[in-house]
């Protein structure tokens, strides 16, 4: 899920091309879906796409919400990831068999574990989305089970659990469990959430439909050799850039240096330790934890850190909604995250989700105070668009490496 809602769409590239298969790794291209960078006044928030699990909720309950700113060799496979102005990244899947195949766009989300799409019985909040009609697919099965998913951005979906064949980048998961939404919240309306549904790539322990995630099904059915996937998030400003989701491995073509692996510290989430955060030579945070969330745009941190960070920037000020900050576009600093003793730079060009208004010299900041003190930060595209990220389910670790056009220095 994402932090900013986009209400003007300009360009949409639709593709499910498998770029390459190398040693069993399937690479799927991700292209850009562009829109306005101005946060809308929609009720959808997207503090983060992280799924709320009974004991965890990083959203500030008392604060105003953040307003919307293939192959047969059993190897890795990649899917096209599309970017909604750096707000969210999604790909295309096919559900069903024979003449009943139906295509859907889905947000690629490491902050949750389940796949859901809107169903034919979903009401007006699903207007504009493609709805799944189980009557069209001969392999569709209604399990009679119900599900409800609630996210940290306060968006939610509820409906019925089905099984059917799900295809992604030429890989097919038979009898894959997924949710078919009967009720979409306001935050999942088309104007706020452009994809049809969501593809969770978290651990099975986080599944609310109590079934193996798509990656696990592909592995269990021999479609991929490893429960590993790599993510390259695209930059909407670069016409020649494409994002990628690689299943069963990772794509070395994007990697500039050694992989820095960090062990996962939570059994449900892609959560790792953050050694420190620096601006210039000044360390402004250390020994933190953060959840790597491809379904979020911004860096969601605690209010104490956020205030400390922006207080160092001349002209930065808190926006009226209390969570966003604005700053002069010319004064965006260079941040460095140190993970597994390796430094990763957040380029100023990726820090802001957009200008306050067209032609303005003021930009929205890429860090918001949307996490309670003591809870892990939720880190999205502001950081992830600067690195290539490898998620390893079996080893319970995340690997980070700089992109070929970036730099990383060992500490």
Domain annotation for the chain: domains and CATH numbers: 9-247 (2.40.70.10), 254-402 (2.40.70.10)
Q: What is the pTM of this model?
A: 0.85
Give the model's confidence band at 127: pLDDT under 50 very low, under 70 low, under 90 confident, else very high: very high
Higher local confidence (pLDDT), 220 or 409:
220
* Structure-block tokens of residue 226: 């490893």
Q: Which tokens sit at 45?
A: 């928030």
27-41 tens-digit pLDDT: 765 544 433 333 332
pLDDT band at 58 (very low <50, low <70, confident <90, very high): very low
125 pLDDT more than 80:
yes
Strand ranges (E), 31-170: 32-35, 77-84, 89-95, 102-109, 115-118, 141-150, 156-168
% of the chain beyond a pLDDT of 90: 63
CA–centroid distance for 116 within its chain: 15
Reading phi first (left if > 0) and then psi (alpha if -120 to 50, else beta), residue 350 is in: alpha
pLDDT tens by residue, 311-337: 999 999 997 766 789 999 999 999 999
Closest CA to 331 of 316, 341, 343, 318: 316
Distances (CA, A) of 373 to 57, 263, 317, 369: 12, 22, 21, 10
pLDDT of residue 323: 78
- For residues 1 and 185, the answer to whether their CB atoms sit within 8 Å is no
Report residue 166 as tokens.
């799900």
Residue 77 has pLDDT above 90, yes or no: no
SS3 category, 179: strand
Stretch among 127-136, 247-256, 337-346 having the lowest mean pLDDT? 247-256
104 vs 5, higher pLDDT: 104
- Read off the pLDDT band of 283 (50, 70, 90): very high
**φ, ψ for residue 381 (rounded to 5)?**
-60, -25
User: Which range (24-28, 168-172, 219-223, 370-374) has the least confidence?
Assistant: 24-28
pLDDT the model gives residue 83: 64
Locate 50 and state its tokens. Answer: 């992280």
Residue by residue, what is the 3-state secondary structure of 312-324?
A: CCCCCEECCCCCC
Residue-level pLDDT at 78: 66
The two three-digit tokens of residue 223, written as one number: 């479609």
The C-alpha atoms of residue 16 and residue 12 are separated, in whole angstroms, by 13
Nearest to 107 by CA among 92, 89, 129, 131: 89
Which residues are marked as active site?
Answer: 109, 293
Q: Are 402 and 344 in contact (CB under 8 A)?
A: yes
Q: Is residue 34 within 8 Å of 236, Cβ to Cβ? A: yes
**Residues 197-225: what's their mean pLDDT?**
96
């Amino acid at each position: 899920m994402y932090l900013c809602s986009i209400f003007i769409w300009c360009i949409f590239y639709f593709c499910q091309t498998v770029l390459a298969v190398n040693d069993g790794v399937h690479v799927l291209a991700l292209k850009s879906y562009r829109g306005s960078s101005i946060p809308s006044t929609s009720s959808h928030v997207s503090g983060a796409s992280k799924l709320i699990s009974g004991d965890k909720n990083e959203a500030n309950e008392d604060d105003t919400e953040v307003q919307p700113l293939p192959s047969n060799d059993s190897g890795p496979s990649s899917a096209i990831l599309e970017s909604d102005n750096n707000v969210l990244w999604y790909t295309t899947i096919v559900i069903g068999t024979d003449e009943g195949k139906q295509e859907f766009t889905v947000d690629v989300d490491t902050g949750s574990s389940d796949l859901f799409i809107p169903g034919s019985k979903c009401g007006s909040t699903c207007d504009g989305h493609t709805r799944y009609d189980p009557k069209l697919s001969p392999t569709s099965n209604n399990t009679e089970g119900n599900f409800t998913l609630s996210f940290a951005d306060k968006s939610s979906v509820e409906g019925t659990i089905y099984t059917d064949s799900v295809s992604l980048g030429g890989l097919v998961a038979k009898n894959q469990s997924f949710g078919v939404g009967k009720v979409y919240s306001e935050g999942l309306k088309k104007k706020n959430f452009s994809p049809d549904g969501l593809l969770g790539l978290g651990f099975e322990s986080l599944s609310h439909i109590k079934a193996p995630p798509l990656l696990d099904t592909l592995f269990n059915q021999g479609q991929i050799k490893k429960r590993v996937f790599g993510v390259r998030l695209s930059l909407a400003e670069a016409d020649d850039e494409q994002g990628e989701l690689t299943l069963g491995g990772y794509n070395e073509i994007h990697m500039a240096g050694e992989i820095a692996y960090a062990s996962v510290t939570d059994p449900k989430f892609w959560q790792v330790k953050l050694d420190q955060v620096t601006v210039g030579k000044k360390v402004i945070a250390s020994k933190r934890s953060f959840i790597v969330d491809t379904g979020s745009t911004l860096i969601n941190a605690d209010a104490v850190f956020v205030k400390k960070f922006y207080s160092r920037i001349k002209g930065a000020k808190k926006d009226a909604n209390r969570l966003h900050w604005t700053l002069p576009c010319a004064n965006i600093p260079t941040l460095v995250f140190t993970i597994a003793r390796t430094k990763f730079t957040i380029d100023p060009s990726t820090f802001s989700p957009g200008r306050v208004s067209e032609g303005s010299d003021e930009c929205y900041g890429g860090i918001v105070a949307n996490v309670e003190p003591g809870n892990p930060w939720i880190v999205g595209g502001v950081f992830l668009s600067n690195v290539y990220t490898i998620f390893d389910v079996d080893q319970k670790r995340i690997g980070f490496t700089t992109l070929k056009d970036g730099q990383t220095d060992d500490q």
